[in-house]
């Protein structure tokens, strides 16, 4: 029995050792893969004006395969910043182009126009992919989108974005309402009305009184 126990122990230790070795091999392979992709990305970065789509595609692989992990980075962005020296906004633009357009279409448009088409496709609700937009002539004054200038494309993106109204007058009005509410709460507090029971709803100041407090304040004595 003792011999059997010792035999099992040896086998278990051997299996554990194989697991550790396999884990190390996997990490080494992942590390090598990450370095390979980064080397390719660095080479493409030198030719970014021509090979921007290919660089975006390599960035997609680095992100999807979580290659920052075997290299010791806590985030994909941190790896891109440290190892490639790419601004994060540019990296995500390149990724969006590589994911949104075929290589041939992206190359025909060029980096900035390709990104503008992708951005426009994200905004227009009925469009499923940027490729759908390229032949449309109803967005920029009868010109097929694939032939539009960068300026026209960027103008179309701005026009398609939902308008966010944040004027000085509206901000001032909001500040005045906040001050009015605070004054009302301060004056009602001595009556025992909790601040949370007083609020502005549309064009009204609403005061909600607990029933027992209303009886105390307004009930017959």
Could you report the per-residue pLDDT of 143-177, keeping only the tens digit for each? Answer: 888 999 999 999 989 888 876 555 667 778 888 88
Question: pTM (2 decimals)?
Answer: 0.62
Q: 24: pLDDT confidence band, cut at 50, 70 and 90?
A: low
Picking from 125, 118, 65, the residue whose alpha carbon sits closest to that of residue 94 is 118
HSE-CB for 98 with a 13 A CA cutoff: 19
Look at the alpha carbons of 138, 143, 148, 152 in this order and tell me if their dihedral is positive or negative: negative
So what's the pLDDT on residue 20? 42
Residue owning tokens 């009184």: 209
Q: Please spell the DSSP secondary structure of 124-142, one letter per residue.
A: STT---HHHHTT--TTTTT
For residues 168 and 147, give the distance between their C-alpha atoms in angstroms, rounded to a whole number. Answer: 39
Q: Is residue 130's pLDDT more than 70? A: yes
- Average pLDDT, whole number, for the chain? 82
99 versus 173: the higher-pLDDT residue is 99
CB 119 within 8 A of CB 157: yes
């Amino acid at each position: 029995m003792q011999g059997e126990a010792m035999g099992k122990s040896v086998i278990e230790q051997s299996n554990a050792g194989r697991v550790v070795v396999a884990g190390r091999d996997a990490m080494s392979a992942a590390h090598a893969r990450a370095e390979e992709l980064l080397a390719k990305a660095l080479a493409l970065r030198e030719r970014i004006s021509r090979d921007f789509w290919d660089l975006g595609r390599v960035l997609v692989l680095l992100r999807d395969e979580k290659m920052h992990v075997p290299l010791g980075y806590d985030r994909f962005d941190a790896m891109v910043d440290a190892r490639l020296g790419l601004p994060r906004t540019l990296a995500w633009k390149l990724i969006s182009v590589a994911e949104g357009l075929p290589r041939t279409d992206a190359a025909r448009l060029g980096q900035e126009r390709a990104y503008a088409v992708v951005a426009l496709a994200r905004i227009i609700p009925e469009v499923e992919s940027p490729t759908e937009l390229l032949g449309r002539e109803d967005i920029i004054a009868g010109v097929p989108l694939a032939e539009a200038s960068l300026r026209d494309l960027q103008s179309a993106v701005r026009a398609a974005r939902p308008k966010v109204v944040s004027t000085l007058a509206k901000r001032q009005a909001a500040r005045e309402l906040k001050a009015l509410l605070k004054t009302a709460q301060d004056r009602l507090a001595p009556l025992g009305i909790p601040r949370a029971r007083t609020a502005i709803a549309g064009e009204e100041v609403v005061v909600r009184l607990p029933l027992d407090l209303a009886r105390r304040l307004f009930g017959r004595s």
